[in-house]
Amino acid sequence: MSALANISDQIRGQLQSGVSKIRSQLFGANNERLDFLMDSFYKLSAPQQSAVFAGLVGVVGFFVLLALGLYFSQVAGLKNDLNQSFAALHELEALKAEYQREDARFDRLSEQVQKRTADLRIKPFFERIGNEQGAQIEGLTEQRVALPETDALSKSNIQEVKVDLRLNNISIPRVLNFIAEVEKANNFVRIQDLTIQARFGNRLFFDTTIKARGYATR
């Protein structure tokens, strides 16, 4: 407590010293400047005194109005900043709620993809559909690559699967049925590209190249 009291006394002493210096500079060491002004004022005639008094009142009023103007201006600016802060806060809360909804949807989607692709084996999957549709698969290749960072699923335990295969000597209806069954299997496998090449001397059967894209759990 004594240390705080000492600090308080030092600050009070510095303030008093500062006030004394300002008073001395304004009114003189012994208030001689103030006495001079008062003597000069009383030596003026009544109209002159009234004019001086009115001028002082005007100056004081001007500074009072200026101070009030600055005060209300600052209050208005503070109120405007406060309103903007509340608006930004409400917008942030709305964005946060929207983000939470979208994040929950993403989690459900990611869980759904992982659940449907956990047991997916690409080659047996395509061979089964080929057998069901009477289509003989040739040259099936599978390539697994990491998802690009721009893909939201890149942060999950999921990889992209690229599949190339050929269906040779096959009719167009069977090709279309094969593609439909692949995409109806609900395993997130989609056909990306299809190339059909006519066979020499045969207008009913074709050689096809299919590129597919899907997902698989690591």
213 and 126 fall within a common domain:
yes
70 and 129 fall within a common domain:
no
Question: Does any domain span residue 190?
Answer: yes
Task: Work out how many domains the chain is built from and give that number.
Answer: 2
Question: Does any domain span residue 187?
Answer: yes
| Contacts of 192 by beta carbon, 8 Å cutoff, 6+ apart | 211, 212, 213
pTM score of the predicted model: 0.52
Query: What's the rounded Cα separation, in Å, for the pair 49 and 43?
Result: 9
Query: What's the rounded Cα separation, in Å, for the pair 100 and 106?
Result: 10
Rg of the Cα trace of the chain?
44
CATH number at residue 134: 3.30.70.60
Question: Does any domain span residue 88?
Answer: no
For each of the chain's 218 residues, which pLDDT tens digit applies?
A: 455 566 566 666 666 666 666 666 655 666 666 566 666 666 667 776 677 667 777 777 777 787 778 877 887 888 888 888 888 888 888 888 888 887 788 778 777 777 777 777 888 999 999 999 988 899 899 998 887 777 766 677 778 889 999 999 999 999 999 999 999 888 888 999 999 998 887 778 899 999 999 887 77
Residue 130 class from Cβ within 10 Å (0-12 exposed, 13-18 middle, 19+ buried)? buried
Residue at 51: amino acid letter: A
DSSP assignment string, 180-209: HHHHHT-SS-EEEEEEEEEETTEEEEEEEE
Question: Does any domain span residue 94?
Answer: no
Contact 210, 193 (CB under 8 A): yes
What's the domain range around 38?
18-75
